[in-house]
Structure 1
Amino acid sequence: MSASTSSPRGRRPGSPDTRAAILDAARARFAEGGFRATTIRAVAADAGVDAALVHHYFGTKDDLFLASLALPVDPRALLVPAVTAGGPEGAAERLLTTFLGVWDDPELQPALLTMVRGLMDPAATRLVSEGFLPVVLGPVGQALGIDRPEHRMPIVASQVLGVILLRYLVRVEPLASMPAEQVVATYAPTIQRYLVDPLP
């Protein structure tokens, strides 16, 4: 059998087009079935490639999920070390400062807005509840060593996402034009209570 006919049928070789096909398949899978139900094997089958190629391009399922969101930065690399370095005390202030520092960057903001608009699609709601929260914010709570992070971090997320939606997407005043330092001073005390105070 010649080299031109020896490759398995239905499998694409590694190429930029293959990478794009994997990402398209991943976005569809994550949006339809959620993070937990999506497997690398299923994404690979949808993209017409071997599962090993998905791992080669993207690593773990967490990495594939973040790549499928098309974020301009890896939030794990920013949030976990920046927020957890000082322990629970002052963590909310560091969390908001980090988020706002990224969102106020004019080079990053367009891609972030595109991502948020995509997450607002009803078909993509599981990407937030089953993907973004456990993959991005979950590790922050665990690294801080707070009790019941699985309960606390979604409450924290409700505040952070609310700020993002109103400040950057809907642009509600005075929040839209408020200096970042004032936003942090306004919201950090409440978020800090969610992180460390006794839960109801």
Structure 2
Amino acid sequence: MHDYEPLVRGWQKTNDVASDAQSLLCLHGCEHTFFHSKRVAHEAARLANVFGVDPQAAMTAGYLHDISAVYPNQVRIEVAESLGIEILPEEKAFPMIIHQKISKAMARDLFSIKDSAILSAIECHTTLKTNPSRLDLVLFVADKIEWDQTGTPPYVQQLIPELEKSLERAAHVYLSHLWEQREKLRVVHPWLRDAYLDLSRGTSYVSEGGECI
């Protein structure tokens, strides 16, 4: 059983997700992550309104998707093990990727998030997965638009026009961007591979008229 006590010592929880995410991240020197998360939360809410998803759920997922930044990279596998999280070989080789699963556990355990759709979106926001929900896609795309690095995302000029057609097409732009340089990546996460292949086949695409194709 994971002990959160050292992590939350000095944290004043108010039960307001945005405020509590900010205070916990800033308590651990992760101000940059909070400002990224705030941008993602607002972009996710905007996309949710466009695509018929609950904007409050999208905003909650956005604020909490990177909450595990409070754990340094070098301890994430140990933390995941203590939380009972299934650890894939690719995650053990490149622990940064497992932050999405740890964030899900923290959202559930520390922020009392019980909505399975929100937890699912947090859990796959970096890699996506096969058969994603609308909220999964909203958070994934918002995170890629409001990325946490400097400058303009190299794929965004292709992503935005596709977003006017569907969330799936926008997600596929980013997945294709990674897939084309997969030989240079430290690892290719199986969820990402499966999501890319799934969307490449068009099995999850929705036409402009809203009909599945």
| TM-score for both structures, normalised by structure 2 | 0.30
| TM-score for both structures, normalised by structure 1 | 0.32
- Select the structure of larger CA radius of gyration: 1
